[in-house]
Amino acid sequence: MEKLTLTLKNGTSITGNAFGAIKESEGEVVFTTGMVGYPESLTDPSFKDQILVLTYPLVGNYGVPSEELDEYKISKFFESTRIHLKGLIVTDYSETYSHWNAGKSLSDWLREYDVPGISGVDTRALTELLRDGGSQLGKIHGVDKKPDDDFYDPNKENLVAKVSTPKPEIYGEGKKHIAIIDTGMKLNILRSFLHRGIRVTRFPWNVSPFNEGYGPFDGVFFSNGPGDPELMVETVAIMKECFERKIPTFGICLGHQIMGIAGGAKTYKLKYGHRSQNQPCIDTRTGRCYITSQNHGFAIDAKTIKDDWEISFLNANDQTVEGLRHKHLPFFSVQFHPEANPGPVDTAFLFDEFVDML
């Protein structure tokens, strides 16, 4: 059996069994504590150029679904059209898979997108290292090769430009019409609006919906996506334009961070981020706790939030800002993923709140 080694920037090296593509790769090494949902997670654009460590030990046993389109002609089982990872690290990879909808193995799927995997790794020990020391840059390479000291840092790049739609696209029908600013949108966000009878025009990350002749719009939504929000100067400018027009505006994940920056707040990089389907978030108005799906490495600095804004959700584990709401105007955002896929759908009502604003 072929072997591959993962080397972290701090000098740690871990060797395991290769699966997927047998190749070198590099990116930011992060972990997720979700138990299921790897087809959705691996196709989430927010994981662009990251090497993902799965803490759940058994991976691959239900294979990968066959590609199928839903009634809106978008992927039924995946969150985008491809895998976005630079590598996958697991404890126990199951060569044998069984599921009524499985069309191929996880290893075959990784090979299809030229993504290497390593199994036979104590991923919980690796996760503890990343938790205590923070997310690390890393390289996957052959066992006989010593990598150089030049590590690729995806957070210094505009990753959104790599995953956003290249041109405006129109979906659905309905009396209400929203613009989605796609900074790496998961497809279940799009589906969540279409299910509610909303017509959607999807725009690239740097294209203002107010200049294209596609409107008028009843609201604007800013999606999730990868990378450092401070690099998204053009997207922040579009958000500010929404503020000036006082149009109902909703942001999720990166869209939440962009709303914070447009509103005058600052962001910072988390030590190891939140990536799982089991993050507890407290609604500050009601005190109710929701279990949420999350995938982000940056957060809004609570100390920099301006007086016109209030914190609507807080992370129960570390008290980081999980939601913003303007005190007087129809602007709000959440850091977590109410569209789920994978994860709980407990906060899907936020889509209804936005629709009610339109």
Domain around 42:
3-156
In total, how many domains does the chain have?
2
State the pLDDT at residue 146: 87
Asked whether 221 and 109 are in contact (CB, 8 A), the reply is: no
Q: What is the pLDDT of residues 186-218, one digit of tens each?
A: 999 999 999 999 999 999 999 999 998 898 999
State the pLDDT at residue 236: 98
How many other CB atoms are there within 10 angstroms of residue 329's CB atom? 15
Q: Are residues 19 and 33 in the same domain?
A: yes
Q: Are residues 254 and 340 in the same domain?
A: yes
Q: Where a domain ends, among 95, 128, 156?
A: 156
**CA angle, residues 298, 304, 309, in degrees to nearest 5:** 100
Asked whether 168 and 200 are in contact (CB, 8 A), the reply is: no
Q: Are residues 167 and 37 in the same domain?
A: no
Q: Where a domain ends, among 125, 156, 187?
A: 156
Query: Annotated catalytic sites, by residue?
Result: 253, 337, 339
HSE at residue 294, side-chain half, CA atoms within 13 A, is 27
Q: What is the pLDDT of residues 109-119, one digit of tens each?
A: 999 999 999 99
Which pTM does this prediction carry?
A: 0.97
Q: Are residues 151 and 206 in the same domain?
A: no
Question: Three-class SS of residue 233?
Answer: helix
Residue 281 belongs to a domain with what CATH number? 3.40.50.880
Q: Are residues 100 and 206 in the same domain?
A: no
How many other CB atoms are there within 10 angstroms of residue 157's CB atom? 16
Q: Are residues 33 and 145 in the same domain?
A: yes
Q: Are residues 134 and 164 in the same domain?
A: no
Q: Are residues 138 and 225 in the same domain?
A: no
Q: Are residues 35 and 138 in the same domain?
A: yes
Q: Are residues 54 and 24 in the same domain?
A: yes
State the pLDDT at residue 1: 82
Regions in the chain scoring below 70 on pLDDT: none
Q: Are residues 151 and 183 in the same domain?
A: no
Q: Are residues 147 and 177 in the same domain?
A: no
Q: Where a domain ends, among 156, 174, 207?
A: 156
Residue 96 belongs to a domain with what CATH number? 3.50.30.20
